[in-house]
């Protein structure tokens, strides 16, 4: 089955700086790559996703890039704010298979 690695496990940035979280996946046939944000004590919620036929997608301060050849994808958050502090999970999914998430990255945005 698919195996997803995620780095770093923890990340601290100053407010206003950028944050980058990277994930690698094992199954080259995976074709859907969502990112979820989980605030403390709350449910994970989708923040952005990308499909295998797209190399980059952007939504305001959040962007995701996908390199299918290298089998890795990254989440980029610019102009970080305190409310961006949360745990972020990536996933790499092959149609018909289950949602297996990476181990998560705890992002702390320092004021």
Distance CA 71, CA 42 (A): 30
Q: 14-53: which residues touch another protein (CB under 8 A)?
A: 31-32, 34, 42-46, 49, 51
Which residue, 62 or 100, has its beta carbon nearer to another protein? 100
> Residue 28 — left, alpha, or beta (φ > 0 → left; ψ -120 to 50 → alpha)?
alpha
Among 57, 68, 97, 108, binds another protein (CB under 8 A): 97
Verify binding: residue 60, another protein, rule CB under 8 A: no
Are 89 and 102 in contact by the 8 Å Cβ rule? The answer is: yes
Which residue, 3 or 81, has its beta carbon nearer to another protein? 3
CA dihedral 110, 63, 94, 100 (to 10 degrees): 10
Q: How far is the CB of 103 from another protein (least distance, A)?
A: 4
CA dihedral 11, 40, 44, 59 (to 10 degrees): -50
Q: Residue 82: which residues within 8 A CB-CB, separation 6 or more?
A: 15, 109, 111
Q: Which stretch binds another protein (CB under 8 A): 19-27, 58-66, 68-76, 98-106?
A: 98-106
Q: How far is the CB of 101 from another protein (least distance, A)?
A: 5
Residues that bind another protein (CB under 8 A): 1, 31-32, 34, 42-46, 49, 51, 89, 93, 95-104
């Amino acid at each position: 089955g698919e195996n997803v690695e995620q780095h770093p496990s923890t990340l601290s940035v100053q407010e206003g700086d950028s944050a980058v979280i990277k994930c690698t996946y094992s199954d080259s046939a995976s074709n859907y790559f969502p990112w979820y944000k989980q605030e403390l004590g709350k449910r994970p919620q989708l923040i952005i996703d990308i499909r295998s036929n797209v190399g980059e997608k952007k939504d305001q301060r959040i962007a995701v890039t996908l390199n299918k050849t290298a089998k890795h994808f990254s989440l980029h958050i610019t102009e970080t704010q305190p409310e961006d502090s949360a745990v972020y999970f990536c996933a790499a999914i092959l149609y018909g298979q289950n949602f297996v998430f990476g181990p998560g990255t705890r992002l702390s945005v320092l004021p």
